[in-house]
Amino acid sequence: MITFPILSLLVFLPLAGVLFLLFVRGDADTVARNARNTALLTSLFTFGLSIYMYMGFDGSSAELQFVEKLPWLPGLNINYKLGVDGISVFFVLLSTFLTPICILASWESIQHRVKEYMISFLLLETMMLGMFCSIDLMLFYIFFEGVLIPMFVIIGVWGGKRRVYSAFKFFLYTLLGSVLMLLAILYLYNTYGTTDIPELSNLAIPANVQKWLWLAFLASFAVKVPMWPVHTWLPDAHVEAPTAGSVILAGVLLKMGGYGFLRLSLPVFPDASVYYAPWIFGFSVIAVIYTSLVALAQEDMKKLIAYSSVAHMGFVTIGIFAMNQNGLDGAMFQMLSHGVVSAALFLCVGVIYDRLHTREIARYGGLIKNMPKYATIFMVFMLASVGLPGTSGFIGEFLVLVGAYQVSTTVTAFAATGVVLGAAYMLYLYKRVVFGELVKSDVKAMKDVDGREVAIFLPMIGLVFWMGIYPSSFTAPMAPALAKVIERVAPARQALLEAKAPAAAEKKAEEAAKTAEEQSAVTTEAEATPVEPEPAKEPEKTEEAPKHKKGKKKK
């Protein structure tokens, strides 16, 4: 049993590295070397600590673990509260896993302002970890937006030619989404007097209020995911960001949107989530098909992978809003898998970009002849992205499609075409870059991957196969937490199903009447209060229902 506040330590450990780096002095070379070493050591140590934390994590429980709570804003019921459950623990691990990889990947490609670069990355790690560990909404928001500062600097300072435009677009797009969420948070706080996420997840918020608040949260998460049509910042940001910036952007930052849906939108606003689910399906399907087609036409490698990210995240949103065990499992799995695979693909692009300094697909060709090791590594991740059985990508997409099939065959049919298109653009990319004749002299002169690069890729390859071959070591610990989310949205879904097909659901409704009605009453009741002839009954019911739910969870 871990007795010290491990999550705080985890979150603020990178910040200690930042403080140390601020005081590094000396000539440029010494500073750069020290900065690299400090950043790597700090991030590795953080990774080690997160593994230690995971070993103490109880995967069979749906409850939040390692909870820490300190009073923060006096006079307001807003606290410093951290904790992890089966959903967030994997994102914590993903963040701590990718940060040292990013630092290693920029070992040689970043040569100027190394200290500032490393400071930005460690700061970013603190913000990401803080966001995934927060279980207070205000704290969550602060970390959620705090991520913008280091990322803006990373794109803007070490990016490509149009870096200023991209950095601004990234920053303002995301900020615009988040400020609306801030107002929704303030509304929740003013109405319900708390920003504690578990408490908010047990509230019965009137359905019409939910719809507005849900949209405010959507503005924030949809930009982060990113969902079509607010995805346009992503290709720009990816193309201009340095390799490691793209890695962290694709690997972790995009997951913040999906995590937000899972952690906040579904449990806090179950009725609104059910109500808007068809819209999400629509936008996701468009995202999957449209961005896949766009990816097919790209001339720039990073842009292609960026568009493929949008398509893959489309699967994630489909899975989340399918709102059943398979769908949520699949969405989570797809996020983790995409976190590793797309990160690795950006690293693959980075490897050849470091050598030839161009991302134009047509400039390459025939790499298999002079870079066989590279071709193999690239192939593994390319196939994982396509979703080949045995790799992590397959499990995620498959589970999402299974989950979606239980809800809507049409959505599944359209989404499945995305899998085919995904194979098309990735294989086409691979063909153009790796196969073909090796004619260009500068391409001929490129050296194969070195030890440092192999060291970066090996753990990622291992992870891709581990996730692909033995997925239950990942799905099992997240299942209880996801089941809790499903249980929370179940009454709302039930109500919708009954409203849609009254005849077919008649029998089910009779059976579930006792349990389901009581639960759904909580949420629909408040909306219907003006019509309610006996207002005296209402407070009793609202009080009863959460108790009833709590009892159920313990089973």
Residues that bind another protein (CB under 8 A): 72-76, 113, 116, 141-143, 145-146, 148-149, 152-153, 156-157, 163-164, 167-168, 171-172, 175-176, 179-180, 182-183, 186-187, 189-190
| Minimum distance from residue 384 beta carbon to another protein (Å) | 35
| Minimum distance from residue 274 beta carbon to another protein (Å) | 25
Tokens of 101: 């990889």
| Minimum distance from residue 16 beta carbon to another protein (Å) | 14
Cα 490 from chain centroid (whole Å): 24
- Give the residue with the Cβ less far from another protein, 95 or 126: 126
Which is nearest to 303 in space by CA: 136, 157, 413, 425? 425
Length of the chain as a residue count: 555
- Give the residue with the Cβ less far from another protein, 65 or 195: 195
- Give the residue with the Cβ less far from another protein, 173 or 261: 173
Which is nearest to 265 in space by CA: 326, 315, 330, 210? 210
- Give the residue with the Cβ less far from another protein, 39 or 341: 39
| Minimum distance from residue 214 beta carbon to another protein (Å) | 16
- Give the residue with the Cβ less far from another protein, 106 or 412: 106
DSSP state string for 187-209: HHHHHHS--BHHHHTT----HHH
| Minimum distance from residue 89 beta carbon to another protein (Å) | 23
| Minimum distance from residue 268 beta carbon to another protein (Å) | 17
Integer Cα distance of 110 and 127 in angstroms: 22
Tokens of 236: 């720009």
- Give the residue with the Cβ less far from another protein, 149 or 486: 149
Which is nearest to 95 in space by CA: 310, 248, 259? 248
Which is nearest to 62 in space by CA: 320, 269, 257, 267? 267
- Give the residue with the Cβ less far from another protein, 162 or 444: 162
| Minimum distance from residue 75 beta carbon to another protein (Å) | 5
- Give the residue with the Cβ less far from another protein, 163 or 359: 163
Alpha-carbon distances of 368 from 200, 293, 363, 446, 472, rounded to whole Å:
55, 27, 15, 11, 35
CB-neighbour burial class of residue 497 (10 A; exposed 0-12, middle 13-18, buried 19+): middle
Integer Cα distance of 84 and 91 in angstroms: 10
Strand partners, 68: 82
Integer Cα distance of 341 and 91 in angstroms: 15
Q: Which is it for strands 65-73 and 78-84: parallel, antiparallel or unpaired?
A: antiparallel
| Minimum distance from residue 358 beta carbon to another protein (Å) | 22
| Minimum distance from residue 166 beta carbon to another protein (Å) | 11
- Give the residue with the Cβ less far from another protein, 15 or 454: 15
| Minimum distance from residue 322 beta carbon to another protein (Å) | 32
What SS3 state is found at 84? Answer: strand
- Give the residue with the Cβ less far from another protein, 135 or 545: 135
Which is nearest to 40 in space by CA: 110, 129, 118? 118
Which is nearest to 378 in space by CA: 298, 460, 255? 460
Integer Cα distance of 141 and 236 in angstroms: 25
Residues sharing a CB contact under 8 Å with residue 199, sequence separation 6 or more, in sequence order = 192
252-261: burial string, b at 16+ Cβ within 10 Å, e else: bbbbbbbbbb
- Give the residue with the Cβ less far from another protein, 20 or 54: 20
Integer Cα distance of 306 and 507 in angstroms: 48
Radius of gyration of the chain (CA): 24
| Minimum distance from residue 180 beta carbon to another protein (Å) | 7
